Amino acid sequence: MHDATHAAPWSAGHGATEDKARLYRDLAQELEALLAGETDPIANAANAAAAIYHSLPTLNWAGFYFVRGEQLVLGPFQGKPACVRIPIGRGVCGTAAGDRRSILVPDVDAFPGHIACDSASRSELVIPLLDGGQLLGVLDMDSPELNRFDGDDQVGCEALAAIVVRHLR
């Protein structure tokens, strides 16, 4: 069981789902405002990674990998230095990219082929960045907490990823 005193504000108790929905709504608005008016994709990905990392509780890594040929290559992020190149189809990021679907990993040790960049990471959520039919890359978030992400986080982060995609064009 979780120690409630150390739990994220929205992770327990009455109204947790509503609180989390509000957190993602607020962050989506903040992100939209932050990226509007700038067209440089590196600048926008960098500010998006910083906004996500500092707004969502209990993350140790948040950032982007972009498609370069048959690989994903590290883009702007917050957290410890990470693996630079991931073949599409490998690890959590490469699987999300290859399958073009979000992957929620409650326990990274139980995901075959997980690539450990920061040994502190215990759970992970990866969202593909899809611009119509085109795969641009992935948004990757890691947490030092087991089971940090749930379906509400997936829905919230998919909405954030859609905003980022519109500002990478």
Classified as helix, coil or strand, 79 is: strand
Binding segment (CB under 6 A) for ligand SME, from list 81-89, 129-137, 146-154, 158-166: 81-89
Strand 85-87 versus strand 71-79 pairing type: antiparallel
What would the x/- binding string for ligand SME be over residues 14 to 53, using CB under 6 A? ----------------------------------------
Asked if 157 is part of the footprint of ligand SME (rule: CB under 6 A), the reply reads no
- Rounded to the nearest 5 degrees, what angle is found at the Cα of 101, between the Cα atoms of 122 and 70? 90
Closest approach of ligand SME to the CB of residue 135, in Å: 15
The span from the CA of 103 to the CA of 94, in Å, is: 10
Closest approach of ligand SME to the CB of residue 89, in Å: 11
102 versus 121: smaller Cβ distance to ligand SME:
121
Closest approach of ligand SME to the CB of residue 44, in Å: 19
- Name the CA radius of gyration of the chain, rounded: 15
Which of 123, 140, 148, 164 forms a contact with ligand SME (CB under 6 A)?
A: 140
The span from the CA of 49 to the CA of 154, in Å, is: 16
Output the furthest CA–CA distance in the chain (Å, rounded): 47
Q: Quick one: the chain helix, strand, coil %, rounded to 5? A: 40, 25, 35
Asked if 103 is part of the footprint of ligand SME (rule: CB under 6 A), the reply reads no
Classified as helix, coil or strand, 29 is: helix
10 versus 160: smaller Cβ distance to ligand SME:
160
Q: Return the residues of window 51-70 that contact ligand SME according to CB under 6 A.
A: 61
- Give residues in contact with ligand SME (CB under 6 A): 61, 82-83, 86, 91-94, 114-115, 117, 121, 124, 140, 142
